[in-house]
């Protein structure tokens, strides 16, 4: 399967991408995870991206497009991919279309995850992330608490609140989503690839997407 996940921060793109990936062999590609890994490793990419990320702003298109070109050529992408956090602007979506055209690959679906603002705010302020760059497992203080002593249940590393998960940075990310990323819904509608789900649990969202994939015209599942 080859899927693009759309929706505001906190919509559940990462969670759904993980679930879809574990059942199918398709790889989850999260630009947020890639960038946070680079920041923690202190690479040149990380140094360039850090300021924008902490402010809740987007990193420059050319930086992200370069990363994704390289990533999508990886042999592990041949079984399919779930894009979580990319594209986030029209120019990234246009670059993706052009790149996939060159690689002779078609998308199956662009899934738009619609979630009310109050649910998003609640989810993001209670979200915690594993600090191990190779793990980045997601927890939630209410629904999926970390282990004793705020440790990751998967790898034992400390679980932390992301720098961009303060109320200010979250509001900024939502504004930027509305301004820069929400036009992608129309973009993919015009491409004939859009599928919208309003489900609020991961089980329901997964079911919706699996059903939609079954009906997708060009599906290569």
Residues carrying an active site annotation? 13, 88, 127, 162, 173
Q: How far apart are CA 158 and CA 191, in angstroms?
A: 42
Examine residue 2 and tell whether it contacts ligand ADP (CB under 6 A). Answer: no
Q: Which is nearer to ligand ADP, 86 or 188 (CB)?
A: 86
Q: Which is nearer to ligand ADP, 48 or 219 (CB)?
A: 48
Q: How far apart are CA 101 and CA 193, in angstroms?
A: 15
Contact (CB, 8 A) for 184 and 177:
no
In the shown chain, the binding pattern of residues 72 to 101 toward ligand ADP, with x for contact by CB under 6 A and - for none, equals: -------------xx-x---x---------
Query: From the list Zn ion, ligand ADP, none, which binds 54 (C-beta under 5 to 8 Å, kind-based)?
Result: none
Q: How far apart are CA 27 and CA 21, in angstroms?
A: 6
Contact (CB, 8 A) for 72 and 27:
no
State which of positions 40-59 bind ligand ADP (CB under 6 A).
52-53, 56-59
Name the strands in the sheet holding 159-160, side by side, starting at the edge strand that comes first in the sequence.
138-140, 127-130, 159-160
Q: Which is nearer to ligand ADP, 137 or 219 (CB)?
A: 137
Examine residue 64 and tell whether it contacts ligand ADP (CB under 6 A). Answer: yes
**140 DSSP β-pair partners:** 127, 144
Residues that bind Zn ion (CB under 5 A): 130, 132, 135, 137, 152, 154-155, 157
Query: From the list ligand ADP, Zn ion, none, which binds 53 (C-beta under 5 to 8 Å, kind-based)?
Result: ligand ADP
Q: DSSP for 100-135, please give it.
A: HHHHT----EEEEE---HHHHHHHHHTEEEES-TTT
Question: What secondary structure letter does DSSP report for 180?
Answer: I
- Name the minimum Å distance from CB 62 to ligand ADP: 10
Give the footprint of ligand ADP on this chain (CB under 6 A). Answer: 9, 31-32, 35, 52-53, 56-59, 64, 85-86, 88, 92, 164, 173
């Amino acid at each position: 399967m080859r899927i693009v996940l759309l929706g505001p921060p906190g919509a559940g793109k990462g969670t759904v991408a993980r679930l879809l990936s574990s059942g199918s062999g398709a790889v989850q590609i999260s630009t947020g995870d890639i960038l946070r890994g680079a920041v923690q490793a202190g690479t040149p990419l990380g140094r360039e991206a850090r300021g924008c990320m902490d402010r809740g702003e987007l990193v420059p298109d050319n930086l992200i497009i370069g990363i994704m070109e390289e990533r999508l050529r990886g042999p592990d992408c041949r079984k399919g991919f779930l894009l979580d956090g990319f594209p986030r602007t029209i120019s990234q979506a246009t670059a993706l279309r052009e790149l996939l055209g060159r690689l002779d690959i078609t998308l199956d679906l662009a899934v738009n995850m619609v979630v009310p603002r109050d649910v998003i705010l609640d989810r993001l302020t209670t979200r915690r992330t594993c600090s191990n760059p190779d793990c980045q497992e997601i927890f939630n203080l209410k629904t999926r608490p970390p282990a004793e002593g705020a440790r990751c249940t998967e790898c034992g590393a400390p679980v932390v609140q992301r720098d961009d998960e303060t109320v200010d940075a979250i509001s900024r990310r939502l504004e930027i989503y509305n301004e820069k990323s929400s036009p992608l819904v129309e973009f993919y509608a015009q491409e004939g690839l859009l599928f919208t789900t309003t489900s609020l649990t991961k089980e329901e969202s997964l079911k919706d997407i699996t059903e939609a994939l079954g009906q997708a015209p060009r599906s290569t599942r």
